[in-house]
Amino acid sequence: MEIDDLDRQVTHALRINGRAGYREIGTVLGVSDQTVARRYRRLRAEAGVRVVGLPNPIELGYETWLIRLRAAPDSALSIAGALARRSDTGWVSITSGGTEIACVVRVPASVDRETLLLQKLPRTPRVASVSAHCVIHQFVGGAVGPDLHDDALTAEQIAALTPVRLAGGDRPAARLTPADAPLLEALAWDGRLSYAELTAATGWPESTTRRRVQELFESGSLYTDVEVEAEPYGFRAPVLLWLTVTPSRLAAVGAALREHEEIVFAAATTGPTNVQALVVCRDMPEFYHYLTEKLGPLDGVERIESEPLLRNVKQLGTVR
């Protein structure tokens, strides 16, 4: 599939506001709503583009855990698949020659951590080791906002598409409840479902559905993100990084990573390594230059462990 400038603009627009209407996006891009709809359907079918609606772990005070599992090569895919089917996993990838699985788990801070780490994770002799790292600060990606790979729109276009977020005391007091489960399930499958489709999924009156969706997004309890297959966009070298950074330099290194266009996710964590990041380059030679010319020279970076991603079993929403 050939990705052109308009495809990149549509993708960037969806990252800014995943629930923006086709007409709204078309007005900003200077094309018809039918053109936007046609491009999105093509990108969804051929480039894996999908908007998903997700709970905002930062706004809701959820804990985010980065889990590393080392498994036998012949069992890694089945274990990764089991993790991907869980509703609390954000992404699940296989790295390091097919023997290591990396995943994100997001849970309310009140969850029983022992149950999470010792009972809910796969219990099989095929798992050789498990380590868990709690995110203590996120620098780039996800609910923090689009990364610098998204550069197809002008500042004026970004401002026109940015959804209104109510500030401070003006925000509705909207927090997720168990009753929101069917709504969350539907949005995790497709964040652009219409209110009529969400009404069918929840069984609520359409007026209730519309009000609940709007207040959850306006309060920041929900946000949208976009899944893509990186290769059609020209990026063939996704690499997971585990960094050891001098504690006094954590904030400075995080701020530097935020300015690196290659970085799509970065966070400070607990554990023997204290920064985890995902870098996406066009190829391995480009990754080499990034490693030696931009990341390696950062003051405070003491050690870098890199693992190419072999397969994304799950990105953001429900496994398709």
pLDDT in tens, 102-136: 999 988 876 666 665 555 665 666 788 888 899 99
The C-alpha atoms of residue 304 and residue 12 are separated, in whole angstroms, by 30
The C-alpha atoms of residue 262 and residue 27 are separated, in whole angstroms, by 30
Same domain assignment for residues 33 and 103: no
154 Cβ contact partners less than 8 Å away, ≥ 6 residues apart: none
Tens-place pLDDT, residues 219-232: 889 999 999 998 99
Same domain assignment for residues 65 and 52: no
Same domain assignment for residues 104 and 77: yes
Same domain assignment for residues 181 and 295: no
Return the DSSP state at 231. Answer: G
Q: How much is the mean pLDDT over the chain?
A: 90
By CB atoms closer than 10 A (0-12, 13-18, 19+), residue 74 is: exposed
Last residue of a domain, one of 73, 105, 139: 139
| Alpha carbon 106 to chain centroid, angstroms | 12
Question: Does 179 map to a domain?
Answer: yes
How many domains does one find in the chain? 3
Task: Please check whether residue 102 is in contact with residue 307, taking contact to mean a CB–CB distance below 8 angstroms.
Answer: yes
Same domain assignment for residues 99 and 218: no
By CB atoms closer than 10 A (0-12, 13-18, 19+), residue 191 is: buried
Tens-place pLDDT, residues 137-168: 999 988 887 677 778 999 999 999 998 765 55
Give pLDDT, residue 119. Answer: 56
Same domain assignment for residues 244 and 301: yes
For the chain, the first-to-last Cα distance in angstroms comes to: 20
Identify the CA nearest to 183 among candidates 160, 211, 155, 141.
Answer: 211
Same domain assignment for residues 28 and 134: no
Task: Please check whether residue 200 is in contact with residue 208, taking contact to mean a CB–CB distance below 8 angstroms.
Answer: no
Give pLDDT, residue 115. Answer: 60
Give phi and psi for 67, each to the nearest 5: -110, 135
Q: Residue 128 sits in a domain of what CATH number?
A: 3.30.70.920
Last residue of a domain, one of 115, 139, 163: 139
Query: What DSSP element (H or E) covers 35?
Result: helix 33-46
Identify the CA nearest to 146 among candidates 35, 224, 50.
Answer: 224
145 Cβ contact partners less than 8 Å away, ≥ 6 residues apart: none
Question: Does 317 map to a domain?
Answer: no
Same domain assignment for residues 27 and 94: no
- The two tokens of residue 161 are 């598409």
Sign of the Cα pseudo-torsion (201, 179, 185, 207, in order): positive
- Neighbouring C-beta atoms of residue 165, cutoff 10 Å: 12
Question: Does 146 map to a domain?
Answer: no
Question: Does 159 map to a domain?
Answer: yes
Question: Does 188 map to a domain?
Answer: yes
Give pLDDT, residue 172. Answer: 57
Give pLDDT, residue 174. Answer: 74
Same domain assignment for residues 199 and 74: no
The C-alpha atoms of residue 293 and residue 298 are separated, in whole angstroms, by 9
The parent domain of residue 213 ranges over: 5-56+152-227
Question: Does 319 map to a domain?
Answer: no
Same domain assignment for residues 36 and 70: no
Question: Does 217 map to a domain?
Answer: yes
Last residue of a domain, one of 186, 208, 227: 227
Same domain assignment for residues 35 and 174: yes
213 Cβ contact partners less than 8 Å away, ≥ 6 residues apart: 183, 195, 198, 222
Same domain assignment for residues 165 and 135: no
The C-alpha atoms of residue 75 and residue 80 are separated, in whole angstroms, by 9
Q: Residue 166 sits in a domain of what CATH number?
A: 1.10.10
Mark the ranges of the chain whose per-residue pLDDT is less than 70.
110-125, 146, 165-173
